[in-house]
Structure 1
Amino acid sequence: MSHAEPVAPAAGGTARASWRSHHVVEWTAVIVALALRLPFVAIPAGPDEAGFLQVAGQWSPGGGSLYGSYWVDRPPLLITLFQIADSTGGLVALRLIGCVAVAATIVLSARAAGIVAGPRASAWTAITTAALLVAPGLGTQEISGELLAAPFVAGGLLALVQAERARDPRWPSFVGGVAGTCAVLVKQNLVDVAVFATVLVVAMRWFGRRDRSARPQVRIGYLVAGVVTTVVIASVWVLARGTSPLDVFHAMYAFRVQAARTISEGGGLAHARPRAALLAWAWVSSGLALLTVAVAVTAPRWRRSPVMVALAATIAFDAVSVAAGGAYWFHYLIQMIVPLAVAIGVLAARTSRVATGAALTAFVLAGAPAVLQVSDVPSSSTGEQIGTAIAASSRPGDTLTTLYGQPQVNLAAGLASPYPHLWSLPVKTLDPRLTELDSLLAGPDAPTWLLVTDRIRSWGLDTSRTRRLIAARYHRVARHNGHTIFLLDGVRRPPPVIGGAETAPRRDGKQKTP
């Protein structure tokens, strides 16, 4: 039997019983994964969660920036998903959407493996996917672009596998194009479906495999049609929200090149190297490295299987994509989960002891910390404490800007920022001399509150004028855990009260600017 073909199921009732038993494993994996995530639905927001919720909540025409009043280098479908969360309950709703994404990724990945190699592959893939999607070392508790894009990647792979084996591949190919494009519109570097589709077509021709469809170009045409349809719908949507598709494209790609140059020239590589080392350790300690090696060393078993070659190429692309990310956040590694889990499931079903051992080891390495973490659910954070204290002291119409990028404080405070950049990287890249920030601080729309993390003269920015403006127009009202809170002169507010904070209300003189 060719390794490219699915494992032939047993006949009659035995086959049905086999599929039922493996579907039980699949749904058990879903239930366990959700049980390990639900205790964390109300934990304090991470910086990306907080920032994207704020961007999404005000995204409307006329804001003056890319997404309403704010600028962020992310695709529109991601902001739309956060907009749905914002309108249906905020942070908890977002975390529940994350649970749905995890469940869908497990099921869709398992079904893709099942089509390739039968019910055993479905079960192994479900177990592996579930364990990795709850691994604390991969940053899976926060809702990231990689997590929300994962079900679209899994759905795209499933559709393309169906198209490869169907006599009428038109609609599965169209769905594959739609799903793959949606993944990119959630996280711009997740072009996994496009990589998989391209290598699958090339591998089928290279190995002389007959396409089950009468005309292979029909399959490709419907795939492209799915891509084009999705791009057109997304363009119409962003135009209706007051955003230019060309500006979005620039933010998704051209900005990333510019930002990489900024990191390199600004000495950011010195800070990136330790994070890269930590990311590499997360890759190893979560079991992802072992799974990657297992796929590589079993190449003689699958080297003439078009689907497995396409999965291996996708895994290789994901590894390069993660390494090229620059900031090296742990959640980058989520990109590798779907193709790795599908490949391992297929290999384990084909009685590869290496793949089976790798899957079991990864299950322990990823799953055990997730179980242990349930007993240590965080109830608060520094950002939430500061934001809550500012909220208690603020009045309607107040605004808050954090230097340089603490969006979780804005979210907890419930205050908008008149500065369009909620994260440090856009500040460094788009406003490196702080011209835009200084104009804001000197003008009539200066924020009521300022929060400075560490010191104003940090992050390698030109802060000389910024420091003078803050000294001239603001006074310090509190310090907490390395953060300094300033209030605009002439504005009377009670000093924020934070547990363990050093409060410093203005009396007659100015406070020294850090």
Structure 2
Amino acid sequence: MQATRRRGAVAPRVVLRWLESGRWSVLAAVLALATLFRLPYAWAPLSSDEGGFLLVAHQWVTTEGSLYGNQWVDRPPGLLIVFRAADVLSEALGDRLALRLVALALVVVAVVAAWFAGGVVAGSRGAVAAALTLTALTSTPVFSGPRLTTGLPGVALVAVGVACALSATYDARGRRGRALLAAAAGAAGASALLMKQNYADGLVFALVLWTVAGARGRRLILPGAAGAAVPLLATLWWAATGPGVGAVWEALYGFREQALSVILSSSTVAPAERALTFALAVVASGAALLAGVTVWTIVRERRHAVAIATLALLGWAVFGIVGGGSWWRHYALQLAVPLALGAALAVRSGLLRTVRVAIALSLVSTLVAVAWLTPALVRGWPSSGTAAGEWIHDHASPGDSGLVAYGSPQVLRVGGLAAPYEYSWSLPTRVRDPDLVEMTAVLSGADAPEWLVEMGSFTWWGIDTDAFRSVVASRYREVADVCGHRIYLRIDVRRDIAGPTRWCPDLFGRTTGSS
């Protein structure tokens, strides 16, 4: 009996020693785990952002008129390039699988970068700690991690930038090698800004690290700045020759100030509810515990340059999340890199047992969340928004266009409809077309869309006007109610619809929000 117990105790220790050995097989196992976490989401319905950015990316290269073809969104061009790649893949694989494969590729890049960054900080154990932390936080459905969220490309590039900055400072040999790695860190950090405009995390980390790391670190600032200039100058050239530098700046930064004002002046109930949900998600995912370990470690290692730079990285992430004002759960992905680095620092600081427990709990949380959702995911059930799109797809004709009031552009993508109205998300509509002047003009024009979808209520936020209500009443008739979303067809258009229809299949969940 005692021998049996000893053998039972030895097995976990053998596994633990293997995990912390730093072998390539361990990295392969971590990547396999990340893949398994995300596998069920190959069947998940498109989120609002996934469908919307596919819609924008698809028409960006073929039309003119607004910031991105005939669409205006408050996101940098790099993000649209990522979704354009998914759009190309979708022709052979379908939207769902194409999106999730691109997301998986980004996570692989991020995990590998975290592995190398953690290795620089604390050797093989630090590498494993950082990689597993990043895997847990970028794979949990609590943060919408398995989807291609708008923050995921930025997370991958921030992780690459951090890894390159650390290697340039502590691991590279030769002045030329250090300079090249510093340039790569700068390029990756600047490219993250082109994915999401508040993702300056990598640049902040590198600048602080090199400033406090002594003369050797300060020599890396110039090549790092040169690397950062490349993607930024390329974007400047695109803006100057296309929509205009001022238009791009207003979309990325000026709009956010206006949007925050609109959010704060509107009802505070929804943002407050999302803030509470966000806080609960941070706790449930294990991110709160990992953040506590990271802060504790930074205090213990406060004289070390990496600890100081990690504090700056974490502080910037928190600033970016809070500054957004909307509290969407996937914003928490911005915490993944600083908490992964914090886990490696904790190993270096002698908090091995503590960080093991924190990482294990985060991985268990991710596993439980994935397992809980898997039965519904593998059935391929639509969300209410994608169900509306599927119904339209079955009844529309090629070349049809549509308008969704307000937001939820995945309806248009799934329905196969063109988007004649340039604001396909609710927040740009509320900020840039608050009196619905442009929307009403589109609906009353000669090329008015065949389809109009009322996602919740035309009276949301009180922005509907007499002119808008009049044109809807005079030009459109209701033909269906799909899961509570009313669908209208232009009165002069005929489609094969046998009278007003009420329909709703089994649903995965309501995915009608915007970010």
Deviation at 1:406, TM superposition (A): 2.0
For the aligned residue pairs, the C-alpha RMSD in angstroms reads 2.1
3-state SS, counterpart of residue 455 of structure 1: coil
Aligned to 2:229: 228
Q: Residue in 1 aligned with 2:216? A: 212
Distance 1:157 1:150 in 2: 11
| Aligned residue number for residue 14 of structure 2 | none
| Gap change, CA 1:19 and 1:293, over 3 Å in 2 | closer
Alignment of 1:30-109 (within 5 A): 30-60=31-61, 62-89=63-90, 91=95, 92-109=97-114
SS in 2 for 1:490: coil
Q: Secondary structure at the match of 1:486?
A: strand
1:131-280, aligned counterparts within 5 Å?
131-165=136-170, 166=172, 167-168=174-175, 169-204=178-213, 210-212=214-216, 216=218, 218-237=219-238, 242-267=242-267, 269-280=268-279
Partner Cα distance (1:93, 1:238) in 2: 28
In the other structure, the counterpart of 1:480 is 482
Aligned to 1:327: 326
Residue 469 of structure 2 corresponds to which residue in structure 1?
467
The one-letter amino acid paired with 1:101 is L
Q: Shift of residue 499 of structure 1?
A: 8.5
Query: What CA deviation, in whole Å up to 9, does each residue of 1:255-310 have, x standing for no partner?
Result: 0001101111233x232011101001111111111111112223443111101211
Query: 5 Å matches for 1:108-507?
Result: 108-165=113-170, 166=172, 167-168=174-175, 169-204=178-213, 210-212=214-216, 216=218, 218-237=219-238, 242-267=242-267, 269-352=268-351, 353-377=353-377, 378-495=380-497, 500-501=502-503
Q: Is the 8 A contact 1:26 1:127 kept in 2?
A: no
Spell out structure 1 runs of 4+ moving beyond 4 A: 17-21, 237-240, 496-500
Unaligned regions of 5+ residues in structure 1, if any? Answer: 1-16, 205-209, 503-514
Of Structure 1 and Structure 2, the greater helix share is in 2
Deviates more, 1:58-67 or 1:420-429: 58-67
For 2:183, the aligned partner's letter is: F
In 2, distance between residues paired with 1:94 and 1:187?
18
Q: Distance in 2 between matches of 1:474 and 1:501?
A: 20
Cα gap change, 1:380/1:62 in structure 2, threshold over 3 Å: closer, same or farther?
closer
Q: Give the direction of change, closer, same or farther, for the CA distance of 1:223–1:381 in structure 2 (3 Å limit).
A: same
**3-state SS in 2 of match to 1:375:** helix
**Could you say what secondary structure the match of 1:307 adopts?**
helix
Residue identity opposite 1:486 in structure 2: Y
Matched pairs, number: 476
TM-score, normalised with respect to structure 1: 0.88
- 1:237 is displaced (CA, Å) by 4.4
User: Quick one: distance in 1 between partners of 2:34 and 2:82?
Assistant: 21
- Kept in 2, the 8 Å contact 1:76–1:238? The answer is no
Does the aligned pair in 2 maintain the 1:393–1:496 contact within 8 Å?
no
- Distance in 2 (CA, whole Å) between partners of 1:201 and 1:349 is 20
What letter corresponds to residue 206 of structure 2 in structure 1? A
SS in 2 for 1:450: strand
Q: CA deviation at 1:393?
A: 1.7
- Percent identical pairs in the alignment equals 34
Change (3 A) 1:457 1:304: same
5+ long unaligned stretches in structure 2? 1-17, 505-515
1:190-211 per-position Cα deviation (integer Å, ceiling 9, x unaligned)? 110121123213433xxxxx43
